[in-house]
Structure 1
């Protein structure tokens, strides 16, 4: 029986060195976020950038919705993988970080593919009319994950992908002594997805954990 390999920081660097090379502007975002202190935890991991890139390429995805953008690393990773006629709508309520993200999108010459909407995501989600997406990426307010997920099911095409970040919650989901509201919420959300017959799902141990749901 095979066992999972424990990924140390050194091994992760080796993996990154022998994987798809980052776009220079992706690296600029990483360098920028490294100066922000603890809040940089809101960005996706490099391995997740590569995963999103591969999923989009092999699935022929063209229309994507992102819920939670921060300074734009995941959005740029998605946009770079999209075809020239692909489109990404990125939702975030933070005007300041959105401005930073827009500057990076322009620098990478990807701003023609990306539309940002600055308001609470649930409000934006309720305003979409007759619009369907091939993929939806959720990486926002953890306490609203179930609400984002349910709204996403209304907006995703049949056979489309809903990808949710932070589902392993720094490994706290398995700590039975940790009962803070965020950990409890992620545990309950994961159980909800497991029992949801509308999708088939897998958890990938990339970054802080990603659940990929294929809508049936």
Structure 2
């Protein structure tokens, strides 16, 4: 949602132009995507991840929604050489481009790309094995994906969920939302209603991009009621 930030346009442009820019192959991938309007995380989120991940020091990362491999490449750059990323994508065109970009970045041995439906593939990942999880997939699926996200996260692990504010329309009455977007609106609101106040979680929404939700798993809990 690069065109739907939750801050005003002047501040958005400042955050994207004045903060440190990427260089090398990763910067080239970001520029390629932006010039062609290919959706990747906006630069303010890039800068935030470059600050956050070295603090968290994750060794095992899971990403739901590879797209062209840009965010996986960014996370790999922020991790030590022993860190590993599992990333899931179902779109064949995106998979082809992601594989190309992983080769360009020289990170093929540090990234495992799983091809197919996230709901099925996540079941193959061991419980309590993931330090950091980045979910940037179909927004209407965040609700039903969450139980598996919670299961695979270690205690103290962090889940980052992108685009949760929908340009601020998340606050609109559902009847005022166009029918084509109403399912996303209802599912995202139901998701936020659960995770923002649940006692097993610490959660915070950061107003970068279209809203980045950060969730820390503090203790075990049963979220099976969210499965579809």
Fold shared per TM-score above 0.5? yes
Q: Secondary structure at the match of 2:159?
A: strand
- Are the aligned partners of 2:119 and 2:145 in contact in 1 as well (CA < 8 Å)? yes
- Correspondent of 1:111 among 108, 111, 118: 108
Q: Does 1:76 align with 2:76?
A: no
SS of alignment partner, residue 108 of structure 2: coil
Partner SS state of residue 49, structure 1: helix
- The Cα shift of 1:23 comes to 3.1
Distance in 1, Cα, partners of 2:217 & 2:193: 17
Question: Given the alignment of the two structures, is residue 52 of structure 1 paired with residue 54 of structure 2, yes or no?
Answer: no
Which residue of 1 is the match for residue 192 of structure 2? Answer: 190
1:131, CA displacement in angstroms?
A: 6.1
Describe the SS at the equivalent of 1:185.
helix
1:128: how far off? 1.7
Q: Is it true that 1:135 corresponds to 2:132 in the alignment?
A: yes
**Where do 5+ consecutive residues of structure 2 fail to align?**
1-5, 219-228
Q: C-alpha distance in 2, partners of 1:47/1:90? A: 22
Equivalent positions of 1:1-216 (< 5 A) are: 7-34=7-34, 36-37=36-37, 40=38, 42-129=39-126, 132-176=129-173, 177-178=176-177, 180-216=182-218
Q: Is the 8 A contact 2:85 2:111 kept in 1?
A: yes
In 2: Cα distance, 1:175 partner to 1:130 partner: 36
Counterpart for residue 3 of structure 1: none
- Measured on the aligned residues, the alpha-carbon RMSD in Å equals 1.9
**Aligned partners of 2:14, 2:207: CA distance in 1, in Å?**
17
In structure 1, stretches of 5+ residues that fail to align are 1-5
Bigger drift between 18-27 and 135-144 goes to 18-27
The higher-RCO structure (CA 8 Å, 6+ apart) is 2
SS of alignment partner, residue 112 of structure 1: helix
130 and 14 in structure 1: CA distance in 2 versus 1, 3 angstrom threshold: closer
